[in-house]
């Protein structure tokens, strides 16, 4: 896979750097939210890239100062539990591959990473952050349950008590705290983030791919089966989306007001 090039649609851009592929979410008007066009690209291309022997490392990042704002609130009109569960299962297909694929995946968190954007970063093996980046759970502000694996990956990364603090309080987790907690491997100035991410990706791409795959398999095997967790998550989010709390959370978001979950 010689040379460097960029391919893909408007919603996600795929940039080749020799045997490294950069996956750049590119929906600036939604701060790179997982709106339908973005999800369609990821659903199609992530499985291809993770099974392509010519791609030895992935880097996931965002455009225009945002990593990913999470789910697209304006496309969550269908809230019946069976439909939500089905949508979650489709998303889980590529999310599980990121977590379990036998090749390294790097998150280059270049800005805000909220909700499922936080989740997306933690599906990766190594997180690099801009000094301007931050995480936020966001799900409590909408009355939703954490999804895209966040209630699995965050406790694994930092422990259950710290994870509950972040998930329940919905506070901003700045880059320096993310580094101190062990979520981020390194925090760098914004203009150096991709340089550092590509340097690390090149090092990993030159490494022993079989060894890396076996290592990831063993680390994942140290915890409960991922498939069981994702089945539980799909159930929980189906219930949450059908609740009056979620209806109030979405309405408040769209009306730019504070939600009143005591109604």
pLDDT grade for 123, boundaries at 50, 70 and 90: very high
Provide the 10 A C-beta neighbour count for residue 217. Answer: 11
CATH superfamily of 4-192+209-220: 2-enoyl-CoA Hydratase; Chain A, domain 1 (3.90.226.10)
Over residues 214-239, the pLDDT tens digits come to: 899 888 888 878 888 888 889 888 98
Q: Which range has the worst mean pLDDT, 16-20, 51-55, 213-217?
A: 213-217
Are the C-beta atoms of residues 57 and 205 closer than 8 Å to each other?
Answer: yes
* Consecutive H or E run containing 99: helix 81-100
Here the tokens at position 135 are 């995480």
pLDDT at 262 over 80: no
Classify burial at 199, counting beta carbons within 10 Å of its beta carbon; exposed 0-12, middle 13-18, buried 19 or more.
exposed
pLDDT digits (tens, 9 = 90+) for 102-113: 899 999 999 999
3-state helix, strand, coil in the chain (%, to 5): 50, 20, 30
Q: What are phi and psi of 141, to 5 degrees?
A: -65, -15
What pLDDT is recorded for position 5? 60
């Amino acid at each position: 896979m010689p040379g460097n090039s960029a391919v893909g649609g408007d919603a996600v851009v795929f940039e080749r750097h020799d045997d490294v592929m950069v996956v750049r979410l590119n929906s600036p008007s939604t701060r790179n939210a997982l709106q339908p066009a973005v999800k369609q690209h990821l659903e199609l291309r992530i499985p291809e890239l993770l099974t392509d022997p010519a791609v030895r490392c992935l880097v996931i990042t965002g455009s225009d100062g945002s990593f990913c704002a999470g789910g697209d609130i304006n496309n969550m009109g269908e809230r019946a539990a069976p439909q939500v569960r089905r949508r979650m299962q489709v998303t889980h297909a590529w999310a599980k591959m990121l977590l379990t694929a036998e090749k390294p995946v790097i998150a280059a968190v270049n800005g805000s990473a909220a909700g499922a954007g936080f989740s997306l970063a933690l599906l990766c093996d190594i997180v690099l952050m801009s000094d301007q980046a931050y995480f936020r759970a966001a799900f409590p502000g909408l009355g939703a349950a954490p999804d895209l694996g966040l209630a699995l990956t965050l406790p694994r990364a930092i422990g259950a008590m710290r994870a509950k603090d972040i998930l329940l309080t919905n506070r901003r987790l700045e880059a320096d705290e993310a580094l101190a907690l062990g979520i981020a491997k390194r925090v760098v100035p914004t203009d150096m983030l991709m340089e550092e991410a590509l340097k690390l990706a090149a090092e990993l791409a030159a490494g022993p791919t079989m060894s890396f795959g076996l290592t990831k398999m063993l680390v994942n095997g140290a915890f409960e089966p991922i498939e069981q967790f994702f089945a539980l998550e799909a159930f929980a989010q189906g219930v949450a989306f059908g609740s009056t709390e979620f209806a109030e959370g979405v309405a408040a978001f769209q009306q730019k007001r504070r939600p009143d979950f005591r109604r």
